[in-house]
Structures are given as C-alpha cells and as structure tokens.
Amino acid sequence: MTGHSGSDEEIASRKKHFGPNSFPPPKIKSIMDLVLENFDDPINVILLVAAIVSIAIGLFKDGFPRGLIDGVSIIIALMIIIIVNSVNNYISEMRLAALINSSNVQEVAVHRGSAEDTHTIDGRDIVVGDIVSFASGMKVPADMIMISGQDVECNESDFTGELEFKLKTRINDKSSKDGDACYMIGKSLIVKGSGKAVVVAVGDYSLSGEIERASGVGSEPTGLQDKLEVMAVKIGNFGILCAVLTFSSMLFRVALEMTNIIPCGCGNITNCVKIEPCQALTFEFTMKNRLWTEIMNTFIIAVTVIVVAIPEGLPLAVTIALSFSSAKMRKLNNLVRNLKSAEVMGGATHICSDKTGTLTQN
C-alpha cells in the first residue's frame, strides 16, 4: 500500500473531514481570570466588603487620610492573597502547557504516494489514511489498523488496565472479527515487533481523545476551603447578631431619653449623669438634630463590630503557607497547578486508584 498522495490539497481535505491529530491545547487562563477566581472564595468577598465599609466609615468619622488606615490595611492583605495565588497559578499553567506540548512531539515515518520510501513528519501532522511505519519502543501516534508485521505487542494498560501485553496481528478475515487483535490504540506503547499500519482515527476522534473528553470534570472545594467557608459564615452570623444587639440597645437608650425616663445626654443608663448643655432629641428632620447623629453613630458602631470580627490575616497566612509548599514541591519537579492541590495532597492518608493508576470517584 502506498497511502494517499501527500499533496497539500489531500492533507487539507482529510484534516477538514477527519480532524487534526492533535488535542485542543490546555486553556491558559489570563491573569484577570485568575484574579477573579480568588473571589470564588467567600472569605475574600467578605474581606473586600469589609474593606469598602471600613473606608466609608473611616472617612465619615475621621476624615482623610486617617480614616483610610483600617480599610487600606484590609485591602493590602487581600491584594497579597490575590497576587500570590494568581502569580503562582499562572506560572503553573504556563509550565503545564509547555509540558503537554513537549510530550506530544513525536517524529513518525509515513508512506505517502510510495510503498518503499518514507517521509519523517511530526506525529501531529498525521491524517487519516496515512500508512505509518512503526517499530518497538515507539508510541502509537494515532488509532491505527495493522496491515503488515509480525510478533507485534503493545502495552495498552493505560486503557484496559491489563498488565499483559496485547499481541497484534495484521488485519484479515479473522482478526477483523476479533475486535482489538489488529487495532492499535493511539498513545499506547509498542514493546515488540515492527510493521506498517493505516491510520483510522486521530485527535479528538481517537479512543484516547474520547477518554480525555469524557474525563474532564470541574474542580470542587477542598476540605480547608469548606472549613474556612463554614467559619466565615459563623463569624459573619455572630458579627451580625452582635451588631443587631448593639444597634438595638443604643436605639433603646435613645428611646428612653426621648420619653424622659433618663436625663438628656445620658450615655450609661445604669449611671446616668445629665450633660449640660444638652440638646433634646426630637424628630425634626435637620442635620443639626442630635437624634439623627445618634442613629448614624449607632449604625457605624454596629457595622464596625461586623468588620472587626473578620480575621483578615487568616486567609493570608493560609495562602502564604500553601505558596511556600508548592514552591518547594516545584523544586522537586512536582508541578502544582493550583495552590489548593498542595493542601489536598498534604491531607491525603491513602491514595486509591484502579489498576491503570487512574484516580476515579468511588
């Protein structure tokens, strides 16, 4: 067999109909995508809201620039978290893409328009209908059917889970009915023999492409993220409860003063001392009315209670610790794509996989 002609038109036509022998490259997230990912964590969202509220309250009470101190300190902590997370994940994304691209590089000898002469091309340029000349030690570049050769064995354990090598025979009436006897799976390893095979499926349409597409799943929150989220909810609820109690008690004091139960200006109902001179509380809608000033101050105190309850240093400490761990692992050639992966694997006591080495659910 001579294969197809190898003309540019022929190759373009086959790529159009059967697809290229390459998989979609891993999507490299932009810095902006990685920055926005940080706000999937509810603690970071709470920190951002707390910073905005702190700045607003600070400017109202203490003016500029003293009123910015608390809010800006929270923003600085949040920025450190975002920068460390985003930069680390971006570097890992780039290294992962380079690693995948380098692993797909393979030179393959194909027959195009000649039964004797071969052309060495990049395995990613193979198209359906190419006649590939293979030998032991070579990775099968695409799904192929063996048309000639003898004593050919392939290691397909990554796909079948079987440790025994699969004996391959050239296609004939018997092997064509035997299923996989003449079928060579792309990305499997030829451990013995040599021969020729015709390419029948490439890229996404090959068996490995189908498996890779079916196995793509989204990430789930880690144990630490779940615990931090629960803690953030508890802290938020407790802070809100304290704020409501604070606001209610101070409104109660205002109500007692307006009904003349306690003297004007009394700040402590258990030990009231009338303040002279004191402007009585009324419902007059003016900015000089002490009632609205009291309510505004009460609201500011209530919000401040919520803000100060948030531990802005905790997520920062966790991020720095995980970043340090992933940097140490990277030096040992252990690529950590996401910071949270270091926390997940660090908390693993047993790793269960099937006989192919694949981590599967349940």
Closest by Cα among 126, 88, 90 to 107: 126
**Element (H or E) spanning 48, and its range?**
helix 42-62
Q: Is residue 180 within 8 Å of residue 59, measured between CB atoms?
A: no
Estimate to the nearest angstrom the gap between the alpha carbon of 311 and the chain centroid. Answer: 24
Q: Is residue 335 within 8 Å of residue 99, measured between CB atoms?
A: yes
Residue 92 to residue 221: CA distance in whole angstroms: 19
Q: Name the token pair of 113.
A: 């328009």
Q: Is residue 338 within 8 Å of residue 104, measured between CB atoms?
A: no
| Dihedral pair phi/psi, residue 202, rounded to 5° | -135, 160
DSSP strand E in the chain: where?
A: 107-111, 119-122, 131-135, 143-155, 166-168, 183-184, 189-201
Who contacts 206 (Cβ-Cβ below 8 Å, separation ≥6)? 142, 143, 185, 186
117 as an active site residue: the answer is no
List, as one string, the DSSP characters of 243-309: HHHHHHHHHHHHHHHHTTSS-TT-S-TTS----SS-PPP----STT-HHHHHHHHHHHHHHHHHHHT
Before 277, cis peptide (omega within 30)?
yes
Beta bridge partners of 154: 166, 190
The residue from 130, 178, 180, 354 that is catalytic is 354
Q: Name the token pair of 34.
A: 């990685």
In three-state secondary structure terms, 229 is helix
Q: Name the token pair of 343.
A: 């926390």
Who contacts 147 (Cβ-Cβ below 8 Å, separation ≥6)? 1, 131, 170, 171, 195, 196, 197, 198
The residues that are catalytic are 354
